[in-house]
């Protein structure tokens, strides 16, 4: 390794920013497997049946070359029906979906209006598009309204998440819909942390909100509550065609595999058929709420400013058998370092009590 690279790594260590790959052990309070579907026997059986019947392991190419199949077409049609939307389109991952949607929609006359806490994949997609980006204060729809009124852009695009990955909060979607419609804007809504767990039946925070899909993209990722990998975008048939023709992360990526498709469909079916999964998650959230300040949903942020402090706190929880990750700057703003805790449907009351006890201990 060159001396300059070693200096770079040493500087990261000195600032408490060095990262390494770890295999977690203990009670899972860190992953996004909110419903335990990553280990679902039912989903495993459906994937096994697909493989036993001779299903292909790989998709062999991009959708526009050799990766298109009757299976993926049927799956996208079924997902559209299950999510009560006009059309869907699979992507290899949520990151690729957000890159693709932002890039496909942007033109030289476009202006993005982006929540200050949007995920890196949305930020990267907007930057790569080279369109103008205006950032509104996190969750501040009044500020968004001001920016929209001031803008003379030929195409206005509002970009936000329904549940933010670090804070666990989200915007008022009914008000947001009205603002977007009045401005004649497009909306990109990332449902990554809501898919499978939010809404009346797990279809996400947008469930029951009558969005104009001729101007809306809703991104659902499959690697969190659905327990697999990949993503699908819900939109109109016309905007789906736009993605096929202009989303570079779709055009130039190998198509999702048959295993991904089978797993995704099986997971969505299980969520819709077994509402007790979501009920169990919500019961656990309610159980934790009075014990931990700020425990309003399935994602909790325990603020502990300073990289060294938050790392030490995470180490205490890990040594006590609870797997929790420290989130450091620059992933979050300096001074906003935190423990990110995720509640699951399968946590026991004893595990939740132990978590609350240890969080109080490390917060002192």
Q: What is the distance between the alpha carbons of residues 118 and 199, in angstroms, rounded to a whole number?
A: 21
208-225 residue pLDDT tens? 999 999 999 999 999 999
Span 285-318, pLDDT tens digits: 999 999 998 888 999 999 999 999 999 999 999 9
- How many structural domains comprise the chain? 2
Same domain, 81 and 132: yes
Output the average pLDDT for the chain. 96
CB 47 within 8 A of CB 234: no
Whether 177 is catalytic is no
* pLDDT above 90 for 5: yes
- 75 vs 52: CA distance, rounded Å: 19
Beta carbons of 280 and 344 less than 8 angstroms apart: no
Cα–Cα distance for residue pair 124/363, rounded to 1 Å: 34
Please tell me which residue in 32, 93, 301, 307 is annotated as part of the active site. 32
Q: Domain with 318 in it: what CATH number?
A: 3.90.1150.10
Is 161 labeled as catalytic in the residue annotation? Answer: yes
Catalytic residue among 28, 190, 191, 337: 190
In tens, the pLDDT along 17-54 reads 888 898 888 999 999 999 999 999 999 999 999 999 99
Q: Is 20 a catalytic residue?
A: no
Q: Say if residues 143 and 97 touch (Cβ distance below 8 Å).
A: no
- Whether 61 and 191 share a structural domain: yes
Q: Do residue 29 and residue 47 come from a single domain?
A: no
Please tell me which residue in 40, 165, 301, 307 is annotated as part of the active site.
165
Percent of residues, the chain, with pLDDT higher than 90: 92
Question: Is 32 among the catalytic positions?
Answer: yes
Cβ–Cβ under 8 Å, residues 349 and 287: yes
Which of the following is catalytic: 117, 156, 177, 193? 193
Q: Order of strands across the sheet with 231-235?
A: 87-91, 231-235, 216-221, 186-190, 155-161, 110-115, 132-136
Active site residue 118: no
Q: Which DSSP symbol is given to 63?
A: I
Residue 286 belongs to some domain of the structure? no
Catalytic residue among 33, 76, 161, 191: 161
Check whether residue 240 and residue 351 sit in a common domain.
no
Per-residue pLDDT at 1 exceeds 70: no
Residue 113 lies in a domain: yes
Two tokens, residue 24:
């977690």
pLDDT at 9: 93
Distance of CA 319 to CAs 17, 29, 32, Å? 21, 13, 21
224: annotated active-site residue: yes
The CATH number covering residue 84 comes to: 3.40.640.10
Residue 15's pLDDT band (boundaries 50, 70, 90)?
confident
The answer to whether residue 308 is catalytic is no
pLDDT value at residue 288: 95
Q: How many CB atoms lie within 10 A of CB 14?
A: 9
| Predicted TM-score of the model (pTM) | 0.95
pLDDT at 364: 78
């Amino acid at each position: 390794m060159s001396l300059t690279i070693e200096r770079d790594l040493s500087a990261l260590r000195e600032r408490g920013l060095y990262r390494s790959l770890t295999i977690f052990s203990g009670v899972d309070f860190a992953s996004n497997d909110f419903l335990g579907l990553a280990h679902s026997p039912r989903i495993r059986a459906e994937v096994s049946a697909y493989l036993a019947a001779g299903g292909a392991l790989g998709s062999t190419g991009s959708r526009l070359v050799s990766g298109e199949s009757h299976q993926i077409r049927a799956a996208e049609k079924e997902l559209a029906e299950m999510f009560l939307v006009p059309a869907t389109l699979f992507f290899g991952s949520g990151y690729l979906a957000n890159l693709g949607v932002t890039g496909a929609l942007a033109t030289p006359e476009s202006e993005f209006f982006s929540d200050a806490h949007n995920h890196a994949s949305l930020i990267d997609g907007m930057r790569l598009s080279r369109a103008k980006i205006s950032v509104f204060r996190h969750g501040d729809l009044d500020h968004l309204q001001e920016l929209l009124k001031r803008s003379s852009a030929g195409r206005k695009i509002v970009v936000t998440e329904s549940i933010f990955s670090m804070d666990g909060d989200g915007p008022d979607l009914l008000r947001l819909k009205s603002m977007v419609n009045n401005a004649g804007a497009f909306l990109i809504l990332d449902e990554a942390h809501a898919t499978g767990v939010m809404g009346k039946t797990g279809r996400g925070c947008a469930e029951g909100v009558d969005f104009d899909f001729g101007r809306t993209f809703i991104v659902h990722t499959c690697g969190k509550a659905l327990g697999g990998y990949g993503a699908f975008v819900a939109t109109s048939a016309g905007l789906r065609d736009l993605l096929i023709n202009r989303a570079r992360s779709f055009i130039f990526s190998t198509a999702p595999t048959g295993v991904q498709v089978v797993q995704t469909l099986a997971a969505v079916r299980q969520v819709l058929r077994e509402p007790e999964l979501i009920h169990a998650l919500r019961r656990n959230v309610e159980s934790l709420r009075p014990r931990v300040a700020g425990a309003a949903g399935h994602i909790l942020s325990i603020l502990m400013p300073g990289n060294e402090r938050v790392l030490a706190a995470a180490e205490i929880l890990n040594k006590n058998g609870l797997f929790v990750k420290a989130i450091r700057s620059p992933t979050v703003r300096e001074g906003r370092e935190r423990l990110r805790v995720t509640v699951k449907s399968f946590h026991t009351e004893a595990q939740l009590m132990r978590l609350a006890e240890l969080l109080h201990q490390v917060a002192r």
